Amino acid sequence: MSKIAIVTDSNSGITQQQAKELGISVLPMPFMIDGETYYEEITLSQDEFYEKLKNNADISTSQPAPESVLAIWDELLKEYDEIVHIPMSSGLSGSCQTAVMLAQDYDGRVHVVNNQRISVTQRRSVTDALELAKAGKSGREIKEILEADKFNSSIYIMIDTLYYLKKGGRITPAAAALGTLLKLKPVLQIQGEKLDAFAKARTVNQAKTIMINAVKNDIEKRFGGISPDNQIYLAIAHTCNEDAANILKAELHEQLPDYPILYVDALSLSVSCHIGPGALAIACCKKLI
């Protein structure tokens, strides 16, 4: 049985500390803030980030530099036979594309998983990969299993303000239609590739109802129905909005008591910088095995 290392990036929400405990590696995402480069969690904390965001700093994200990716891989391959690399969704960043290209030089020892995950769903993929490796699957098999499962997850995000989406130019045409005369709380969805408009609400409570109903609808129609036998993972994420996220957790649990809520995570900063603070998200995915 080959020895498999798991690599992901800080979009998974997995901290360096947690990574150490899990026995995996997390690449920090770089941020350009007012001309200077910061690394998520290494030289830039969540608090510092939101401080700068609120002060209207010029923030842009980029993908991990190829050399830092290569450095981690090379280091790991001294000890491991294969690497399963799980970057953030290829629909949201070029990281995956770059990693696929870089992996071509590694004679099949590095398997880049293109399964369109981000944040809590990406985190779940990392956990799945660890379990699969423990179960004796090869790097190729793990990649194939995760990719076959890529559409079995969705994330709904309520955004507190359209300001950051507009500023970042990340508004897809559908999302732009949400920008009406009234102040709205848009609900976006990430399903597979893109961040897209899903619905809109007037108040936070309405948005929460929409998200919970959407998750129920997904479980019902796409993930095999709501029943105790059908295993579904739920998770909550937020941007700088932890108290509200914990309240949402309780509300979600009340509505879907049969399913575990795995995490209440801060959304990774590369998502946060496009949607701003005050967001709430619910994710669900079908249990892999």
- Work out which of 35, 67, 107, 181 binds another protein, going by CB under 8 A: 181
Smallest distance from the beta carbon of 108 to another protein, in angstroms? 40
**Do residues 4 and 133 touch, judged by C-beta distance below 8 A?**
yes
Q: Which of 42, 10, 41, 6 is CA-nearest to residue 23? A: 6
Contact between 210 and another protein (CB under 8 A)? yes
**Does 209 interact with another protein (rule: CB under 8 A)?**
yes
* Integer Cα distance of 41 and 30 in angstroms: 10
Binding segment toward another protein, per CB under 8 A, in 46-54, 65-73, 213-221, 266-274? 213-221
User: Is position 104 an interface residue for another protein (rule: CB under 8 A)?
Assistant: no
> Distance between CA 235 and CA 286 in Å, rounded?
12
Tell me how far, at minimum, the Cβ of 208 lies from another protein, in Å: 11
Angle between helices 204-221 and 242-255 (to 10 degrees): 40
**Residues with Cβ < 8 Å from 83, sequence gap 6 or more?**
4, 5, 6, 7, 73, 76, 77, 106, 109, 110, 111, 139
56 binds another protein (CB under 8 A): no
Q: Please identify which residue in 206, 230, 231, 255 interacts with another protein, judged by CB under 8 A.
A: 206
Question: Which among 74, 73, 95 has a CA at the least distance from the CA of 84?
Answer: 73
57, 77, 204, 262: which one contacts another protein (CB under 8 A)? 204
> Is 146 near another protein (CB under 8 A)?
no
The closest of 114, 91, 85 to 190, measured between CA atoms, is 91
Interface with another protein (CB under 8 A), residue from 38, 198, 233, 263: 198
Q: Of the listed pieces 27-35, 204-212, 234-242, 258-266, which binds another protein according to CB under 8 A?
A: 204-212
230 touches another protein (CB under 8 A): no
Q: In what order do the strands lie in the sheet with 82-86?
A: 25-27, 4-9, 82-86, 110-112
Measured from the CB atom, the residue of 203 and 246 that comes closer to another protein is 203
Is position 3 an interface residue for another protein (rule: CB under 8 A)?
no
Residue nearer to another protein on the CB measure, 137 or 185: 185
**Among positive and negative, which fits the CA dihedral 121, 122, 127, 133?**
positive
Q: Considering beta carbons, is residue 210 or 240 the nearer one to another protein?
A: 210
Contact 283, 234 (CB under 8 A): yes
Sequence-distant (6+) residues with CB within 8 A of 23 are 6, 130
Hey, which residues between 151 and 180 contact another protein (CB under 8 A)? 177, 180
Find the binder of another protein among 184, 188, 232, 279 (CB under 8 A). Answer: 184
* Site residues, another protein (CB under 8 A): 177, 180-184, 198-206, 209-210, 213-214, 217
